[in-house]
Copies of this chain bind each other. A is one copy, B any other.
Protein backbone atom coordinates (compact mmCIF):
# COMPACT_ATOMS: atom_id res chain seq x y z
CA UNK A 1 0.00 0.00 0.00
CA UNK A 2 1.02 3.56 -0.46
CA UNK A 3 0.28 7.03 0.92
CA UNK A 4 -3.37 7.53 1.65
CA UNK A 5 -5.18 10.63 2.74
CA UNK A 6 -7.63 10.23 5.58
CA UNK A 7 -8.94 13.54 6.87
CA UNK A 8 -9.75 12.49 10.40
CA UNK A 9 -9.86 9.51 12.71
CA UNK A 10 -13.59 9.95 12.83
CA UNK A 11 -13.93 9.37 9.12
CA UNK A 12 -11.74 6.32 9.28
CA UNK A 13 -13.75 4.99 12.19
CA UNK A 14 -16.91 5.32 10.18
CA UNK A 15 -15.38 3.44 7.27
CA UNK A 16 -14.07 0.82 9.69
CA UNK A 17 -17.53 0.19 11.12
CA UNK A 18 -19.09 0.00 7.66
CA UNK A 19 -16.66 -2.58 6.40
CA UNK A 20 -16.91 -4.64 9.56
CA UNK A 21 -20.70 -4.69 9.53
CA UNK A 22 -20.76 -5.70 5.87
CA UNK A 23 -18.75 -8.81 6.83
CA UNK A 24 -21.28 -9.74 9.48
CA UNK A 25 -24.13 -9.11 7.06
CA UNK A 26 -22.71 -11.61 4.58
CA UNK A 27 -22.83 -14.40 7.16
CA UNK A 28 -26.38 -13.74 8.27
CA UNK A 29 -27.98 -16.44 6.11
CA UNK A 30 -25.70 -19.14 7.53
CA UNK A 31 -26.62 -21.87 9.98
CA UNK A 32 -24.19 -22.61 12.81
CA UNK A 33 -22.77 -25.65 11.03
CA UNK A 34 -22.01 -23.71 7.84
CA UNK A 35 -19.35 -21.68 9.64
CA UNK A 36 -17.13 -24.62 10.41
CA UNK A 37 -16.07 -26.69 7.44
CA UNK A 38 -13.31 -26.52 4.87
CA UNK A 39 -14.24 -28.86 2.03
CA UNK A 40 -11.10 -28.19 -0.02
CA UNK A 41 -7.84 -26.51 0.77
CA UNK A 42 -8.64 -23.32 -1.16
CA UNK A 43 -11.87 -22.73 0.76
CA UNK A 44 -11.71 -21.50 4.36
CA UNK A 45 -14.40 -21.92 7.02
CA UNK A 46 -16.55 -18.76 7.34
CA UNK A 47 -15.76 -18.52 11.04
CA UNK A 48 -12.08 -18.50 10.20
CA UNK A 49 -12.59 -15.54 7.86
CA UNK A 50 -14.42 -13.74 10.69
CA UNK A 51 -11.58 -14.38 13.10
CA UNK A 52 -8.68 -13.88 10.73
CA UNK A 53 -9.80 -10.43 9.57
CA UNK A 54 -10.25 -9.46 13.20
CA UNK A 55 -6.84 -10.78 14.15
CA UNK A 56 -5.30 -8.49 11.53
CA UNK A 57 -6.46 -5.38 13.41
CA UNK A 58 -5.45 -6.80 16.77
CA UNK A 59 -2.04 -7.89 15.57
CA UNK A 60 -0.98 -5.04 13.33
CA UNK A 61 -2.90 -2.06 14.80
CA UNK A 62 -3.84 -2.50 18.45
CA UNK A 63 -0.80 -4.44 19.63
CA UNK A 64 1.50 -2.07 17.76
CA UNK A 65 -0.06 1.31 18.44
CA UNK A 66 -2.36 1.07 21.45
CA UNK A 67 -0.26 0.58 24.56
CA UNK A 68 -3.34 -0.01 26.74
CA UNK A 69 -4.68 -2.83 24.61
CA UNK A 70 -4.91 -6.28 26.21
CA UNK A 71 -4.74 -9.21 23.83
CA UNK A 72 -8.03 -11.10 23.74
CA UNK A 73 -6.54 -14.58 23.73
CA UNK A 74 -2.92 -15.31 23.03
CA UNK A 75 -3.78 -18.57 21.25
CA UNK A 76 -5.65 -16.67 18.56
CA UNK A 77 -2.53 -15.40 16.92
CA UNK A 78 -1.56 -19.00 16.36
CA UNK A 79 -5.01 -20.07 15.24
CA UNK A 80 -6.00 -17.24 12.92
CA UNK A 81 -2.82 -16.24 11.20
CA UNK A 82 -2.93 -17.24 7.56
CA UNK A 83 0.35 -17.27 5.78
CA UNK A 84 2.33 -14.63 7.59
CA UNK A 85 5.38 -16.69 8.39
CA UNK A 86 6.99 -13.93 10.41
CA UNK A 87 4.26 -13.97 13.06
CA UNK A 88 4.81 -17.18 15.02
CA UNK A 89 3.91 -20.68 13.99
CA UNK A 90 0.90 -20.97 11.77
CA UNK A 91 -1.92 -23.50 11.58
CA UNK A 92 -1.66 -25.49 8.38
CA UNK A 93 -4.31 -24.26 5.96
CA UNK A 94 -5.75 -27.71 5.40
CA UNK A 95 -6.49 -28.14 9.10
CA UNK A 96 -8.60 -25.03 9.51
CA UNK A 97 -11.75 -26.98 8.88
CA UNK A 98 -11.20 -29.28 11.84
CA UNK A 99 -10.91 -26.58 14.48
CA UNK A 100 -14.36 -26.56 16.06
CA UNK A 101 -13.18 -24.39 18.94
CA UNK A 102 -13.27 -21.49 19.40
CA UNK A 103 -16.85 -21.60 18.13
CA UNK A 104 -18.56 -18.93 16.09
CA UNK A 105 -20.18 -17.43 19.18
CA UNK A 106 -16.76 -17.03 20.78
CA UNK A 107 -15.37 -15.54 17.58
CA UNK A 108 -18.21 -13.04 17.46
CA UNK A 109 -17.22 -11.98 20.98
CA UNK A 110 -13.66 -11.61 19.72
CA UNK A 111 -14.89 -9.41 16.87
CA UNK A 112 -16.84 -7.23 19.27
CA UNK A 113 -13.87 -6.96 21.62
CA UNK A 114 -11.51 -5.89 18.86
CA UNK A 115 -14.10 -3.55 17.32
CA UNK A 116 -14.49 -1.90 20.70
CA UNK A 117 -10.74 -1.69 21.01
CA UNK A 118 -10.50 -0.06 17.60
CA UNK A 119 -13.30 2.39 18.39
CA UNK A 120 -11.60 3.38 21.63
CA UNK A 121 -8.40 3.78 19.69
CA UNK A 122 -10.10 6.01 17.12
CA UNK A 123 -11.76 8.03 19.87
CA UNK A 124 -8.53 8.59 21.78
CA UNK A 125 -6.66 9.83 18.74
CA UNK A 126 -8.17 12.73 16.93
CA UNK A 127 -5.41 12.56 14.37
CA UNK A 128 -3.77 9.33 13.32
CA UNK A 129 -0.28 9.17 11.97
CA UNK A 130 -0.05 8.41 8.32
CA UNK A 131 1.53 4.97 8.75
CA UNK A 132 -1.22 3.97 11.20
CA UNK A 133 -3.88 5.07 8.76
CA UNK A 134 -2.19 3.09 6.07
CA UNK A 135 -2.16 -0.11 8.09
CA UNK A 136 -5.80 0.32 9.11
CA UNK A 137 -6.73 0.91 5.50
CA UNK A 138 -4.75 -2.17 4.51
CA UNK A 139 -6.69 -4.09 7.15
CA UNK A 140 -9.97 -2.88 5.68
CA UNK A 141 -8.94 -3.74 2.14
CA UNK A 142 -7.80 -7.10 3.48
CA UNK A 143 -11.20 -7.61 5.08
CA UNK A 144 -12.88 -6.72 1.79
CA UNK A 145 -10.82 -9.37 0.05
CA UNK A 146 -12.07 -11.83 2.64
CA UNK A 147 -15.65 -10.63 2.10
CA UNK A 148 -15.30 -11.76 -1.47
CA UNK A 149 -13.86 -15.08 -0.32
CA UNK A 150 -16.68 -15.43 2.19
CA UNK A 151 -19.20 -15.29 -0.64
CA UNK A 152 -17.33 -17.75 -2.82
CA UNK A 153 -16.48 -20.10 0.05
CA UNK A 154 -20.06 -20.10 1.28
CA UNK A 155 -21.15 -20.91 -2.26
CA UNK A 156 -18.67 -23.79 -2.37
CA UNK A 157 -19.88 -25.20 0.96
CA UNK A 158 -23.58 -24.93 0.11
CA UNK A 159 -23.10 -25.85 -3.53
CA UNK A 160 -21.44 -29.14 -2.60
CA UNK A 161 -24.27 -30.17 -0.32
CA UNK A 162 -26.72 -32.49 -2.07
CA UNK A 163 -29.58 -30.44 -0.59
CA UNK A 164 -28.40 -27.28 -2.46
CA UNK A 165 -29.49 -24.83 0.26
CA UNK A 166 -30.55 -21.34 -0.78
CA UNK A 167 -28.42 -18.47 0.49
CA UNK A 168 -30.77 -15.72 -0.63
CA UNK A 169 -34.15 -16.20 -2.27
CA UNK A 170 -35.47 -14.40 -5.31
CA UNK A 171 -32.26 -12.98 -6.66
CA UNK A 172 -32.99 -11.12 -9.84
CA UNK A 173 -30.33 -12.42 -12.14
CA UNK A 174 -31.52 -12.39 -15.67
CA UNK A 175 -32.49 -8.76 -15.69
CA UNK A 176 -35.45 -9.56 -17.88
CA UNK A 177 -33.29 -9.61 -20.95
CA UNK A 178 -33.91 -12.30 -23.52
CA UNK A 179 -31.11 -11.79 -26.00
CA UNK A 180 -27.42 -11.07 -26.06
CA UNK A 181 -26.89 -7.36 -26.51
CA UNK A 182 -23.78 -6.09 -28.12
CA UNK A 183 -20.83 -7.98 -29.42
CA UNK A 184 -18.80 -5.31 -31.15
CA UNK A 185 -15.05 -5.35 -31.00
CA UNK A 186 -13.31 -2.17 -29.86
CA UNK A 187 -9.87 -1.29 -31.16
CA UNK A 188 -6.84 -0.02 -29.29
CA UNK A 189 -3.91 1.51 -31.16
CA UNK A 190 -0.32 0.39 -31.08
CA UNK A 191 1.92 2.45 -28.83
CA UNK A 192 3.65 2.99 -25.51
CA UNK A 193 1.28 3.03 -22.54
CA UNK A 194 1.62 3.64 -18.84
CA UNK A 195 0.68 0.81 -16.53
CA UNK A 196 0.31 0.63 -12.78
CA UNK A 197 -1.00 2.77 -9.99
CA UNK A 198 0.02 6.43 -10.06
CA UNK A 199 -1.80 8.29 -7.28
CA UNK A 200 -1.49 8.32 -3.54
CA UNK A 201 -4.77 6.66 -2.71
CA UNK A 202 -4.86 3.09 -1.54
CA UNK A 203 -3.38 0.36 -3.68
CA UNK A 204 -1.52 -2.88 -3.13
CA UNK A 205 2.22 -3.28 -3.56
CA UNK A 206 1.74 -5.45 -6.65
CA UNK A 207 0.12 -2.66 -8.71
CA UNK A 208 2.59 0.03 -7.64
CA UNK A 209 5.31 1.26 -9.95
CA UNK A 210 3.97 3.26 -12.85
CA UNK A 211 5.89 2.04 -15.87
CA UNK A 212 5.72 1.85 -19.64
CA UNK A 213 4.75 -1.06 -21.85
CA UNK A 214 4.60 -1.31 -25.61
CA UNK A 215 1.33 -2.68 -26.94
CA UNK A 216 0.71 -3.77 -30.50
CA UNK A 217 -2.72 -2.97 -31.89
CA UNK A 218 -5.57 -5.23 -30.74
CA UNK A 219 -9.33 -5.36 -30.39
CA UNK A 220 -11.55 -6.73 -27.65
CA UNK A 221 -15.18 -7.77 -27.34
CA UNK A 222 -17.28 -5.23 -25.45
CA UNK A 223 -19.02 -7.80 -23.23
CA UNK A 224 -18.40 -11.05 -21.43
CA UNK A 225 -18.99 -14.47 -22.98
CA UNK A 226 -22.43 -15.90 -22.16
CA UNK A 227 -23.60 -19.29 -20.98
CA UNK A 228 -25.16 -19.79 -24.39
CA UNK A 229 -21.89 -19.22 -26.20
CA UNK A 230 -20.08 -21.49 -23.77
CA UNK A 231 -22.68 -24.20 -24.29
CA UNK A 232 -21.83 -24.15 -27.99
CA UNK A 233 -18.25 -24.95 -27.04
CA UNK A 234 -19.41 -27.83 -24.85
CA UNK A 235 -21.70 -29.17 -27.54
CA UNK A 236 -19.01 -28.84 -30.20
CA UNK A 237 -16.90 -31.28 -28.17
CA UNK A 238 -14.53 -28.66 -26.82
CA UNK A 239 -13.79 -30.70 -23.69
CA UNK A 240 -12.92 -33.73 -25.81
CA UNK A 241 -10.50 -32.10 -28.25
CA UNK A 242 -6.93 -31.77 -26.93
CA UNK A 243 -6.02 -29.23 -29.60
CA UNK A 244 -7.61 -26.37 -27.67
CA UNK A 245 -5.90 -27.07 -24.38
CA UNK A 246 -2.56 -26.52 -22.73
CA UNK A 247 -0.92 -29.87 -22.06
CA UNK A 248 -1.36 -29.39 -18.28
CA UNK A 249 -4.94 -28.32 -18.87
CA UNK A 250 -5.61 -31.45 -20.89
CA UNK A 251 -4.26 -33.66 -18.09
CA UNK A 252 -6.50 -31.75 -15.68
CA UNK A 253 -9.57 -32.22 -17.88
CA UNK A 254 -8.96 -35.94 -18.14
CA UNK A 255 -7.87 -36.60 -14.58
CA UNK A 256 -10.65 -34.57 -12.97
CA UNK A 257 -13.28 -35.55 -15.52
CA UNK A 258 -14.11 -31.91 -16.25
CA UNK A 259 -16.86 -31.37 -18.83
CA UNK A 260 -18.62 -28.16 -17.80
CA UNK A 261 -18.17 -25.16 -15.49
CA UNK A 262 -18.17 -25.73 -11.75
CA UNK A 263 -21.69 -26.13 -10.28
CA UNK A 264 -23.14 -27.26 -13.63
CA UNK A 265 -25.12 -30.49 -13.84
CA UNK A 266 -26.71 -32.06 -16.88
CA UNK A 267 -30.05 -33.64 -16.09
CA UNK A 268 -31.38 -35.54 -19.00
CA UNK A 269 -30.95 -33.02 -21.81
CA UNK A 270 -30.89 -29.79 -19.85
CA UNK A 271 -28.14 -27.99 -18.04
CA UNK A 272 -28.73 -26.77 -14.52
CA UNK A 273 -26.43 -25.00 -12.10
CA UNK A 274 -26.26 -24.05 -8.47
CA UNK A 275 -26.49 -20.33 -7.76
CA UNK A 276 -26.70 -18.70 -4.37
CA UNK A 277 -30.42 -18.37 -5.08
CA UNK A 278 -30.70 -22.14 -5.49
CA UNK A 279 -30.58 -24.87 -8.08
CA UNK A 280 -31.77 -23.51 -11.43
CA UNK A 281 -31.77 -24.01 -15.15
CA UNK A 282 -28.85 -22.30 -16.88
CA UNK A 283 -29.82 -18.90 -18.35
CA UNK A 284 -28.26 -18.60 -21.81
CA UNK A 285 -27.83 -14.83 -21.66
CA UNK A 286 -25.98 -14.51 -18.41
CA UNK A 287 -22.19 -14.40 -18.48
CA UNK A 288 -20.58 -17.79 -18.02
CA UNK A 289 -18.75 -18.07 -14.69
CA UNK A 290 -16.86 -20.52 -12.47
CA UNK A 291 -14.52 -21.53 -15.25
CA UNK A 292 -10.77 -22.02 -14.93
CA UNK A 293 -8.21 -20.09 -16.94
CA UNK A 294 -7.63 -23.43 -18.71
CA UNK A 295 -11.23 -23.38 -19.90
CA UNK A 296 -11.18 -19.67 -20.76
CA UNK A 297 -8.07 -20.22 -22.88
CA UNK A 298 -9.48 -23.34 -24.57
CA UNK A 299 -12.71 -21.50 -25.37
CA UNK A 300 -10.75 -18.63 -26.91
CA UNK A 301 -8.65 -21.06 -28.98
CA UNK A 302 -11.79 -22.74 -30.23
CA UNK A 303 -13.14 -19.34 -31.26
CA UNK A 304 -9.87 -18.48 -33.02
CA UNK A 305 -9.39 -15.63 -30.56
CA UNK A 306 -7.34 -15.14 -27.44
CA UNK A 307 -7.57 -13.60 -23.95
CA UNK A 308 -6.34 -10.09 -23.29
CA UNK A 309 -3.04 -9.57 -21.53
CA UNK A 310 -3.37 -7.75 -18.24
CA UNK A 311 -1.73 -4.69 -19.82
CA UNK A 312 -4.17 -4.66 -22.71
CA UNK A 313 -7.01 -4.97 -20.23
CA UNK A 314 -5.78 -2.04 -18.18
CA UNK A 315 -5.36 0.19 -21.20
CA UNK A 316 -8.74 -0.83 -22.60
CA UNK A 317 -10.41 -0.20 -19.27
CA UNK A 318 -8.83 3.21 -18.76
CA UNK A 319 -10.10 4.18 -22.21
CA UNK A 320 -13.45 2.45 -22.17
CA UNK A 321 -14.44 3.20 -18.59
CA UNK A 322 -12.29 6.07 -17.33
CA UNK A 323 -14.27 6.18 -14.10
CA UNK A 324 -14.89 3.07 -12.07
CA UNK A 325 -18.50 2.09 -12.71
CA UNK A 326 -19.73 1.96 -9.12
CA UNK A 327 -23.14 0.83 -10.35
CA UNK A 328 -21.78 -2.27 -11.97
CA UNK A 329 -22.82 -5.67 -10.62
CA UNK A 330 -20.66 -5.67 -7.47
CA UNK A 331 -21.51 -7.33 -4.17
CA UNK A 332 -23.70 -4.39 -3.13
CA UNK A 333 -26.32 -5.32 -5.78
CA UNK A 334 -26.84 -8.51 -3.80
CA UNK A 335 -27.29 -10.49 -6.99
CA UNK A 336 -24.40 -12.72 -5.97
CA UNK A 337 -24.17 -13.85 -9.59
CA UNK A 338 -23.17 -12.20 -12.90
CA UNK A 339 -26.12 -10.71 -14.75
CA UNK A 340 -26.97 -10.27 -18.40
CA UNK A 341 -25.24 -7.36 -20.03
CA UNK A 342 -26.77 -3.90 -19.70
CA UNK A 343 -26.80 -1.88 -22.89
CA UNK A 344 -24.58 0.91 -21.71
CA UNK A 345 -21.81 -1.15 -20.21
CA UNK A 346 -18.85 -3.21 -21.43
CA UNK A 347 -18.89 -5.27 -18.22
CA UNK A 348 -15.28 -4.35 -17.58
CA UNK A 349 -16.09 -3.87 -13.90
CA UNK A 350 -18.06 -6.33 -11.81
CA UNK A 351 -19.98 -9.49 -12.84
CA UNK A 352 -16.94 -11.74 -13.23
CA UNK A 353 -13.21 -11.49 -12.80
CA UNK A 354 -11.72 -11.73 -16.26
CA UNK A 355 -8.93 -14.22 -16.75
CA UNK A 356 -6.04 -12.62 -18.65
CA UNK A 357 -3.33 -14.45 -20.51
CA UNK A 358 -0.71 -12.82 -18.29
CA UNK A 359 1.31 -14.65 -15.70
CA UNK A 360 1.39 -12.89 -12.35
CA UNK A 361 4.85 -11.33 -12.23
CA UNK A 362 6.40 -8.30 -10.50
CA UNK A 363 6.39 -4.88 -12.17
CA UNK A 364 9.85 -3.56 -13.09
CA UNK A 365 10.50 -1.64 -9.90
CA UNK A 366 8.65 -3.98 -7.55
CA UNK A 367 10.15 -4.38 -4.10
CA UNK A 368 8.83 -6.55 -1.32
CA UNK A 369 7.93 -4.59 1.83
CA UNK A 370 9.90 -5.45 4.96
CA UNK A 371 8.32 -7.43 7.80
CA UNK A 372 5.13 -9.41 7.97
CA UNK A 373 3.15 -7.14 5.67
CA UNK A 374 5.88 -7.68 3.09
CA UNK A 375 4.63 -11.16 2.64
CA UNK A 376 1.47 -9.78 1.20
CA UNK A 377 1.87 -10.33 -2.52
CA UNK A 378 5.36 -11.02 -3.79
CA UNK A 379 5.55 -14.58 -2.59
CA UNK A 380 2.66 -15.57 -4.86
CA UNK A 381 4.26 -14.33 -8.07
CA UNK A 382 4.77 -17.79 -9.56
CA UNK A 383 2.50 -20.13 -11.52
CA UNK A 384 -0.55 -17.89 -11.22
CA UNK A 385 -2.54 -15.90 -13.77
CA UNK A 386 -3.79 -12.32 -13.40
CA UNK A 387 -7.49 -11.52 -13.30
CA UNK A 388 -8.92 -8.06 -13.69
CA UNK A 389 -12.08 -6.04 -13.07
CA UNK A 390 -13.77 -7.48 -9.98
CA UNK A 391 -16.86 -9.64 -9.75
CA UNK A 392 -20.36 -9.76 -8.34
CA UNK A 393 -18.74 -10.68 -5.02
CA UNK A 394 -16.34 -7.72 -4.93
CA UNK A 395 -17.11 -4.58 -2.89
CA UNK A 396 -17.48 -1.61 -5.24
CA UNK A 397 -14.98 0.53 -3.37
CA UNK A 398 -12.36 -2.19 -3.39
CA UNK A 399 -11.64 -2.33 -7.10
CA UNK A 400 -9.46 -0.17 -9.35
CA UNK A 401 -8.33 -0.02 -12.99
CA UNK A 402 -4.92 -1.16 -11.81
CA UNK A 403 -6.13 -3.88 -9.41
CA UNK A 404 -4.40 -7.21 -10.00
CA UNK A 405 -6.10 -10.34 -8.71
CA UNK A 406 -4.40 -13.71 -9.24
CA UNK A 407 -5.18 -17.39 -8.99
CA UNK A 408 -3.78 -20.67 -10.18
CA UNK A 409 -5.07 -21.38 -13.68
CA UNK A 410 -7.06 -24.50 -12.72
CA UNK A 411 -9.17 -22.86 -9.98
CA UNK A 412 -12.86 -22.27 -10.50
CA UNK A 413 -14.56 -21.42 -7.23
CA UNK A 414 -14.27 -17.65 -7.77
CA UNK A 415 -16.69 -15.81 -10.05
CA UNK A 416 -14.46 -15.95 -13.11
CA UNK A 417 -15.36 -15.24 -16.74
CA UNK A 418 -14.13 -14.76 -20.30
CA UNK A 419 -13.54 -11.77 -22.57
CA UNK A 420 -12.23 -12.38 -26.09
CA UNK A 421 -9.60 -10.38 -27.96
CA UNK A 422 -7.33 -10.56 -30.98
CA UNK A 423 -4.28 -8.86 -32.39
CA UNK A 424 -4.82 -6.64 -35.39
Contact = CB atoms under 8 A, between A and B. Distances in A.
Nearest to A193: B214
B98 A37 contact: yes
Nearest to A195: B214
A364 interface: yes
Given A36-B37, A101-B31, A101-B33, A75 B163 contact: yes
Interface stretch (A54-62, A374-382, A397-405): A374-382
Interface residues of A, number: 67
A280 interface: no
Nearest to A380: B247
Contacts of A383: 248, 383, 409
A35 interface: yes
B161 A100 contact: yes
Contact of A37 (B97, B306, B365): B97
Chain A's interface: helix, strand, loop or mixed, by majority?
mixed
Contacts of A78: 162
Interface string A157-201: 110111101000000000000000000000000001000000000
A357 interface: yes
A246 B381 contact: yes
A354 to B, nearest CB: 17
A115 interface: no
B75 A162 contact: yes
Given A214-B212, A216-B211, A216-B365, A100 B33 contact: yes
A32 B32 contact: yes
A99 interface: yes
A165 B98 CA distance: 13
Contacts of A423: 364-365
B246 A161 contact: no
A412 interface: no
A157 B165 CA distance: 26
B381 A100 contact: no
A320 interface: no
Interface of A: 31-37, 39, 47, 75, 78-79, 83, 85-86, 91, 97-105, 157-158, 160-163, 165, 192, 211-214, 216, 218, 242-243, 245-250, 294, 301, 306, 357-359, 361-362, 364-365, 368, 374-375, 379-383, 409, 423
Given A33-B36, A248-B382, A382-B409, 19 more contacts: A33-B35, A33-B103, A39-B98, A75-B162, A83-B247, A85-B250, A99-B161, A99-B162, A101-B158, A101-B161, A211-B216, A212-B216, A216-B365, A245-B379, A246-B379, A246-B381, A246-B382, A247-B380, A383-B383
25 contacts: A32-B33, A33-B33, A33-B101, A34-B100, A34-B101, A34-B103, A36-B37, A37-B37, A37-B100, A75-B162, A79-B162, A85-B250, A86-B243, A97-B97, A100-B157, A100-B158, A101-B161, A101-B165, A246-B382, A247-B380, A250-B379, A301-B368, A359-B361, A365-B423, A383-B383
